[in-house]
């Protein structure tokens, strides 16, 4: 083997570190940096720019519309890279319309109505809670999305605040901006050149909170996400439930670039995704260094592909054979200088080859897998003889990887070009992309990362000035931030863990209403613990059961009832009995205890287990245990 082609990068020679194997210092070595874009639906009756109802989902539709998207120039006179990429995919986009949830606005057959004022007020409130500066005039901007997820081809979005911060573990996480925007369609299917969307969610008001890349480990990203989501949730200004919040995670490593992992539904998925993306970028940077060492340049990779259909007409490689029988064209693309690289691991169970496969799937719309074969791949594809002919037709040595794609002529050609483009990207390192989160914690290519060039002022709506009076009214009604609540609770004597939980729990208001009732019989921590206990049949809500709780807590503080009684009783907890009556009840219960151990701790527990069910809620558990001890002594 040519020594030039041997792998020398240590990262490529060793197995990738597993999730959980790296400590903060390990991530620091990678130069991991991560930021978040948290999207939350605002709680409003109507959509943002029309009068359709918000939050009504349905799987039925009465009509369909077919559209295509074309790239347009940005305000600064540039075409956006993502837009051009989407145009290459030549997708038919079909929207499913439900009469109840969509009007002519969502289907892009009518201009926008004026912005929903409640949504704007609520977005300003949240921006303020995050410590942002509020703009004096809101400019509606069009953010291009050519994937079809919005029928206009752009999302109407507007900045309401910039440069905020939230406290996190003794430091500060910077909030870059908060925007108010319309939600997109729900994707139903994306096969070949056809993509289908449901439009019920389209146009619902959404806030996007963008942090700076201030997080340094995968777990920090999750925790900061939790803080941002809790903040908006305690405010009561956003929707909750499945799909009401989604986040995009931005990740980069030393030598890498900002990669956006889109639409991560659950915060719990974030750490593994961030870890794996850190590995992928580190691998791509190592591959880049390997290529640099070999002297491979972009101009060494011309847009060149060879039609090898005739060589593989009767191949045993069934995927290709079936495709060719249906008229597919088979094209081969040699990648000189990429020796030993296609099999390099980038993520768990994933190699560098998937970078090519993903581009082909998304851009050439060849989505039946496998959608490419590699001459140096250790997998059953073409026979040795077939590979020899293919390699020879490409005019390269046998050690040079040759990638083969198949599909309709135009798609196969798009695929071949994408292979060359992706290979050239490898010379540059990590291409700027948005990637989709996969179920196994890895991620796949979604599209080229859009830049600022996709922004365009919305000429359909005038700017909205925010008068001081409006801001004053919103600021005056702001709820406390969770971290302020937590500090307050600790000052009130609640233990740290309970204070943290209660600060973002709906029972917080009830706690504050009742804490004045605490006395010798009940501490603030005791009250917090009681309200957070899920086994109580009454909801811990000031609105729903405030009076009942007040009366009950008063009795508890006065020693009239025991805490356990609150969990048990459907109605009011039973009053604590006088000692003589309680003793009689205990004696009766004791008499029914069957044969069994009576010695030591085991005997004590055995007897407790039998007498307690009849006494619970009437006599405090610790009193019963004292009596059991006395009885056994």
Partner 1 sequence: MSDANDFPGYRSPALDVLEQQKAPVWSQATLHTSRGDFSGLILPRSETADAAHIVLKLDTGYNIGVRADTVRRITVHGRKVAHYKIPEKAFPYDPVKPRVKLIGTGGTIASRLDYRTGAVIPAFSPGELYGSVPELADVCNLETEKLYGVFSENMGPEQWMGTARAIAAEIEKGVAGIVVGHGTDTMHHTAAALTFMLQELPVPVVMVGSQRSSDRPSSDAAINLINAARTAATSDIAEVMVCMFGPTSDQYGLLHRGTRVRKMHSSYRSTFRTISDIPLARVDSEGVKPFRGDYNRRRDVKQVALKACFDDRVAIVYYYPNMKPDIIDSLIDHGYRGIIIAGTGLGHVNKPLYPALERARTAGAHVYMTVQTLWGYVQMYVYETGREIMELGVIPAANMMPEVAYVKLGWALGQSQDHDEVKRLMLTPVNGEITEREPHNGYLVMQGGIPEVDAFISEHWK
Please give the structure tokens belonging to residue 384: 């040795």
3-class state of residue 385 by DSSP? helix
Residues with Cβ within 8 Å of 64's Cβ and at least 6 positions away in sequence, in order, are 94, 95, 96, 97
Nearer to partner 1 among residue 135 and residue 430 (C-beta)? 135
Least separation, in Å, of the C-beta of 255 and partner 1?
A: 23
> Which residue number, 75 or 397, has a Cβ lying nearer to partner 1?
75
Task: Identify the CA nearest to 288 among candidates 427, 468, 495, 91.
Answer: 427
Residues in Cβ contact with 545 at an 8 Å cutoff, skipping those fewer than 6 apart: 538, 539
Q: Which of 35, 27, 187, 6 is nearest to 96 (CA)?
A: 187
20 vs 465, which CB is nearer to partner 1? 465
Strand 33-41 and strand 205-211: the pairing is: antiparallel
Nearest residue (CB) to partner 1, 188 versus 427: 188
Q: How far is the CB of 178 from partner 1 (least distance, A)?
A: 11
Describe the crossing of helices 117-129 and 468-476 by its angle, rounded to 10 degrees.
Answer: 60
Exposure b/e, 292-319, CB count within 10 A at least 16 = b: eebebeeeebeeebbebbebbeebebeb
Whole-angstrom Cα distance, residue 377 to residue 353?
9
Smallest distance from partner 1 to CB 76, Å: 5
The Cα–Cα gap between 376 and 353 comes to 11
Q: What is the largest CA-CA distance in the chain?
A: 102
DSSP 553-595: HHHHHTTSS-HHHHHH-SSSPPPPPPHHHHHHHHHHHHHT--S
Nearer residue to partner 1 within complex by CB, 134 or 284: 134
Residue 107 Cβ, how far from partner 1 at the closest point, in Å?
A: 7
Of 312, 349, 344, 316, residue with least CA distance to 328 = 312
DSSP class of residue 299 equals: G
How far is the C-alpha of 246 from the C-alpha of 43, rounded, in Å?
15
Minimum distance of partner 1 from residue 38's CB (angstroms): 16
Cis preceding linkage at 370, omega within 30: yes
CA distance 389 to 385: 6
- Choice between 126 and 324, CB closer to partner 1: 126
Tokens of 472: 């004053």
Residue 154 C-beta: closest distance to partner 1, Å:
6
The nearest distance, CB 529 to partner 1, in angstroms, is 41
Nearest CA to 52 out of 207, 241, 201, 187 is that of 201
Residue 24 parent element (H or E): helix 24-30
Q: How far is the CB of 215 from partner 1 (least distance, A)?
A: 19
Strand partners, 259: 251
Whichever of 159 and 589 has its CB closer to partner 1, that residue is 159
CB of 418 to partner 1, least distance (A): 20
For residues 371 and 434, which CB has a smaller minimum distance to partner 1 in the complex?
434
Q: Nearest CA to 19 among 212, 272, 298, 344?
A: 272
To partner 1, the closest distance from the beta carbon of 77 in angstroms equals 4
Supply the minimum distance, in Å, between the C-beta of residue 128 and partner 1: 11
> Which residues contact residue 335 at a Cβ distance below 8 angstroms, ignoring those fewer than 6 apart?
301, 342, 400, 401, 402, 403, 419, 423
Orientation angle between helical segments 482-491 and 496-503, nearest 10 degrees: 140
With vertex at residue 175, the alpha carbon angle to CA 173 and CA 177, rounded to the nearest 5 degrees, is 170
**Parallel, antiparallel or unpaired: strands 194-198 and 92-97:** parallel
- Which is closer to partner 1, CB of 73 or CB of 587? 73
The residue among 45 and 104 lying less far from partner 1, judged by its C-beta, is 104
45 vs 62 by CB, closer to partner 1: 62
Query: Which residue number, 219 or 456, has a Cβ lying nearer to partner 1?
Result: 456
CB of 563 to partner 1, least distance (A): 48
The answer to whether the beta carbons of residues 40 and 264 sit under 8 Å apart is no
Residues that bind partner 1 (CB under 8 A): 61-77, 79, 83, 94, 104, 107-111, 132-139, 141-144, 146, 151-154, 157-159, 162-163, 176-177, 179, 210, 451-457, 459, 462-463, 465
In the bound complex, what is the minimum distance in angstroms from residue 137's beta carbon to partner 1? Answer: 2
In the complex, minimum distance from the CB of residue 284 to partner 1, in angstroms, rounded to a whole number: 25
Nearer to partner 1, 160 or 279 (CB): 160
Q: Which is nearer to partner 1, 398 or 451 (CB)?
A: 451
């Amino acid at each position: 083997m040519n020594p030039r082609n041997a792998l020398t990068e240590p990262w490529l020679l060793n197995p990738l570190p597993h999730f959980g194997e790296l400590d903060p210092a390990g991530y620091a070595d990678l130069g991991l940096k991560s930021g978040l874009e948290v999207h939350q639906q605002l709680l409003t009756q109507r959509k943002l720019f029309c009068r359709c109802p918000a939050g009504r989902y349905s799987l039925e539709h009465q009509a369909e519309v077919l559209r295509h998207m074309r790239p347009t120039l940005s305000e600064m006179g540039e075409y956006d890279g993502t837009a051009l990429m989407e145009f290459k995919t030549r997708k038919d986009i079909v929207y499913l319309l439900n009469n109840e949830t969509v009007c002519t606005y969502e289907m892009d057959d009518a201009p926008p109505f004026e912005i929903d004022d409640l949504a704007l007020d609520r977005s300003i409130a949240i921006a303020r809670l995050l410590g942002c500066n509020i703009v004096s005039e809101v400019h509606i901007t069009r953010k291009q999305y050519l994937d079809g997820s919005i029928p206009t081809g752009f999302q109407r979005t507007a900045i309401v605040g910039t440069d905020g911060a939230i406290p996190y573990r003794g430091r500060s996480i910077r909030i870059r901006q908060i925007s108010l925007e319309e939600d997109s369609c729900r994707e139903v299917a994306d096969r070949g050149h056809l993509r289908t969307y449901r439009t019920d969610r389209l146009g619902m008001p959404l806030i996007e909170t963008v942090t700076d890349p201030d997080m340094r480990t995968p777990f920090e990203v999750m925790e900061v996400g939790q803080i941002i989501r809790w903040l908006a949730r305690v405010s009561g200004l956003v929707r909750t439930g499945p799909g009401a919040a989604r986040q995009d995670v931005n990740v980069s490593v030393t030598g890498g670039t900002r990669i956006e992992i889109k639409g991560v539904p659950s915060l719990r998925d974030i750490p593994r995704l961030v870890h794996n993306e850190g590995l992928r970028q580190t691998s791509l940077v190592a591959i880049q260094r390997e290529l640099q060492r070999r002297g491979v340049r972009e101009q060494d990779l011309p847009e060149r592909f060879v039609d090898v259909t005739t060589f593989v007409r009767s191949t045993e490689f069934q995927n290709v054979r079936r495709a060719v029988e249906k008229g597919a064209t088979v094209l081969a693309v040699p990648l000189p200088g990429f020796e030993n690289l296609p099999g390099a691991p980038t993520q768990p169970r994933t190699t560098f080859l998937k970078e090519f496969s993903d581009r082909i799937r998304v851009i050439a719309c060849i989505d039946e897998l496998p959608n490419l074969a590699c001459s140096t791949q250790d997998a059953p594809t073409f026979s040795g003889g077939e590979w020899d002919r293919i390699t020879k037709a490409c005019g390269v040595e046998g050690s040079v990887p040759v990638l083969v794609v198949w599909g309709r002529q135009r798609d196969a050609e798009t695929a071949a070009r994408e292979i060359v483009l992706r290979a050239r990207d490898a010379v540059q390192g990590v291409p700027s992309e948005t990637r989709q989160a996969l179920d196994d914690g890895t991620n796949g290519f979604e599209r080229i990362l859009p830049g600022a060039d996709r922004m365009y002022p919305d000429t359909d709506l005038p700017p909205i000035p925010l008068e001081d009076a409006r801001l004053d009214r919103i600021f005056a009604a702001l709820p406390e931030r969770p971290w302020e609540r937590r500090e307050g609770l600790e000052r009130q004597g609640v233990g740290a863990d309970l204070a943290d939980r209660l600060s973002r729990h709906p029972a917080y208001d009830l706690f504050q209403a009742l804490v004045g009732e605490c006395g010798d019989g009940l501490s603030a921590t005791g009250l917090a613990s009681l309200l957070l206990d899920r086994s109580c049949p009454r909801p811990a809500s000031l609105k729903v059961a405030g009076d009942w709780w007040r009366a009950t807590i008063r009795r508890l503080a006065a020693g009239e009832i025991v805490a356990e009684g609150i969990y048990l009783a459907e109605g009011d907890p039973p009053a604590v009995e006088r000692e003589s009556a309680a003793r009689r009840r205990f004696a009766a219960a004791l008499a029914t205890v069957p044969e069994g151990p009576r010695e030591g701790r085991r005997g004590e527990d055995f007897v407790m287990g039998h007498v307690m069910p009849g006494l619970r809620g009437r006599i405090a558990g610790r009193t019963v245990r004292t009596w059991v001890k006395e009885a056994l002594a």
